C-alpha cells in the first residue's frame, strides 16, 4: 500500500470518527456539571471508612480488584522486559569496565548535584509512599520516585556505581514479593491502606529499576557478534 493510499484510508476513517465523536460529545453532560453519582458514593464510603484520600480509598479498597490487575500488569511487564531483552544467541555481554563505563568525564557540579539529590529524592519517595492514605500520592507515585532516584547515579556519569547499587536478582525477588503481598492483601483484606501502599511502592520501585536495568544492558553492554542483523 502506498503512503498515499494509507493516508486516504486513514482520512476516511478519521472523518467518520470525528462525526461519531462529535455526535456523542455534545450529548454528554456539561463540563463541570453536578452529575457524579458514583463519585459521591465513593466519597461517602471513604468517609465511612475514615479514609482521608478518597482516590486511595477507591484504588485500594472499593475497587481494589482493579488495582490487583494493574499490579499484575506491572509485574508481568517487568517479567516481559527480562524475557524480551535477555541475551540471545550471537550476543554476548561485555563487562562494564571493558568500555570505560567507569566514572565518566562530567562536570563536577553535575556530579555533586547527583550525589546530593540521591538521598533527598529517596526520602521524598518514601514520604510520598507513606502519606498515600492522607494526601495526594501513594505507592504508585512514590514507587516511581524511588525507582528513578537510583538513576541519578547514572546521570552523574557513574554507571558501575549504579550497577553495584542495584543487584538485579535482589530486585527481581523483591518485586515478586511486593506483587505477591499486594495480591494477598487485595483479595483478603481490602482496605489496609498503609501496608498496601507500602507493598505497591516496593513493587513499583523495583519494577522500574528492573525494566530500566534491562534497557541499560541492551544499550551499553550487549553486543551482537556478527555484523549482519538481518535473518538468513
Partner 1 sequence: MVQAAIAAPVLIAIMLAAGGRRLPRPVVDAVATGTILAVTVLLGIVLATALRHPVVTWLGGWPPRGGVSVGIPLVADPMSAGLALLVAVLTLAALVFSWRYLVEVQAIYHALMLLFTAAMCAFVLTGDLFDAFVFFELMSVIAYVLTGYKAEEPRTVHGALNFGVINSLGAYVTLMGIGLLYARTGQLNFAAMGARLPGQDHRLVTVAFALVCTGFLVKAATAPFHFWLADAHAVAPTPVCVLFSGVMVELGVYAIARTYWATFAGAVPGARPALAFLGVVTALLGGVMCVLQRHVKRLLAYSTVSHVGVILLGVAALDHDSLAGAAYYLLGHAGVKSALFIAAGTLLNRFETLDERELHGRGLRLRASGAVFLVGGLGLAGVPPSGLWAGKAVMDEAAQRAGWWWAAPVGVVASALTAGAVLRVWLRVFRGVGPSGGGTAEHEDSETGPRMSRLPWTMLTPGVILAGGAVLLGLIPGLLHGVSHAAGLFVDHDGYVSAVLSGGAWHAASAPLHPWTAAGLVGGAAGVVLAAVVAVLGLHQPVPRILRPVIDRLRAAHSGHVGEYAAWLTAGVALFGLLLFTA
Partner 2 sequence: MSHLPYLAAGWILLAGIFGMVTSRNLVHVVVCLSVTQSATYVLLLAIGYRKGGTAPVFSDIKPTGKVVDPVVQAMTLTDIVVNATATALLLALAVQVAKRRGTIDPDELRPLE
Name the site residues for partner 2 (rule: CB under 8 A).
Answer: 3, 6-7, 10, 14, 17-18, 21-22, 25-26, 28, 30-34, 36, 38-39, 42-43, 46-47, 52-55, 57-59, 63, 66-67, 70, 73-74, 76-77, 80-81, 84-85, 134-136, 140, 211, 214-215, 218, 224, 229-231
Q: Closest separation between CB of residue 95 and partner 1, Å? A: 22
4 binds, among partner 2, partner 1, none (CB under 5 to 8 A by kind): none
d(CA 216, CA 192): 36
Looking at the chain, how many residues does it have?
Answer: 232
215 binds, among partner 1, partner 2, none (CB under 5 to 8 A by kind): partner 2
For residue 94, give the DSSP letter: P
If the CB atoms of residues 43 and 190 are measured against partner 2, the closer one turns out to be 43
Phi-psi category of residue 222: left, alpha or beta, with phi > 0 → left and psi -120 to 50 → alpha: beta
If the CB atoms of residues 23 and 109 are measured against partner 1, the closer one turns out to be 23
Alpha helix segments (H runs only) across 95-224: 108-130, 139-149, 152-155, 159-165, 168-188, 193-216
H helix or E strand, kind and range, residue 17: helix 3-25
Chain residues that interact with partner 1, rule: CB under 8 A: 1, 6-7, 9-10, 12-17, 19-21, 23-24, 27-29, 35-39, 41-42, 45, 58, 61-66, 69-70, 72-73, 75-77, 79-80, 82-86, 88-90, 172-173, 176-177, 179-180, 183-184, 186-187, 190-191, 229-232
130 binds, among partner 2, partner 1, none (CB under 5 to 8 A by kind): none
If the CB atoms of residues 134 and 161 are measured against partner 2, the closer one turns out to be 134
Q: Is the dihedral of CA 128, 130, 133, 135 positive or negative?
A: negative
Distances (CA, A) of 90 to 39, 79, 93, 96, 223: 55, 22, 10, 19, 8
For residue 98, give the DSSP letter: G
d(CA 13, CA 9): 6
> Cell 452529575 belongs to which residue?
35
Q: Closest separation between CB of residue 28 and partner 1, Å? A: 5
Q: Closest separation between CB of residue 131 and partner 1, Å? A: 23
Q: Closest separation between CB of residue 54 and partner 2, Å? A: 4
Amino acid at each position: 500500500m502506498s503512503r498515499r493510499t494509507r493516508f486516504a484510508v486513514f482520512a476516511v476513517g478519521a472523518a467518520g470518527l470525528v462525526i461519531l465523536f462529535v455526535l456523542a460529545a455534545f450529548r454528554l453532560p456539561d463540563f463541570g456539571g453536578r452529575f457524579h453519582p458514583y463519585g459521591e458514593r465513593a466519597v461517602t464510603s471513604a468517609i465511612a471508612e475514615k479514609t482521608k484520600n478518597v482516590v486511595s480509598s477507591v484504588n485500594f479498597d472499593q475497587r481494589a480488584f482493579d488495582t490487583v490487575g494493574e499490579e499484575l500488569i506491572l509485574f508481568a511487564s517487568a517479567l516481559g522486559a527480562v524475557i524480551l531483552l535477555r541475551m540471545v544467541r550471537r550476543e554476548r555481554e561485555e563487562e562494564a569496565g571493558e568500555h570505560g563505563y567507569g566514572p565518566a568525564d562530567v562536570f563536577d557540579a553535575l556530579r555533586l548535584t547527583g550525589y546530593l539529590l540521591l538521598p533527598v529524592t529517596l526520602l521524598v519517595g518514601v514520604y510520598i509512599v507513606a502519606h498515600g492514605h492522607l494526601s495526594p500520592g501513594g505507592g504508585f507515585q512514590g514507587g516511581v520516585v524511588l525507582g528513578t532516584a537510583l538513576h541519578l547515579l547514572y546521570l552523574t556519569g557513574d554507571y558501575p556505581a549504579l550497577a553495584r547499587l542495584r543487584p538485579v536478582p535482589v530486585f527481581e525477588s523483591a518485586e515478586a514479593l511486593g506483587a505477591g503481598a499486594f495480591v494477598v492483601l487485595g483479595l483478603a483484606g481490602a482496605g489496609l491502606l498503609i501496608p498496601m501502599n507500602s507493598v505497591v511502592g516496593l513493587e513499583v520501585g523495583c519494577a522500574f529499576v528492573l525494566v530500566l536495568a534491562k534497557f541499560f544492558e541492551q544499550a551499553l553492554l550487549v553486543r551482537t557478534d556478527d555484523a549482519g542483523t538481518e535473518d538468513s
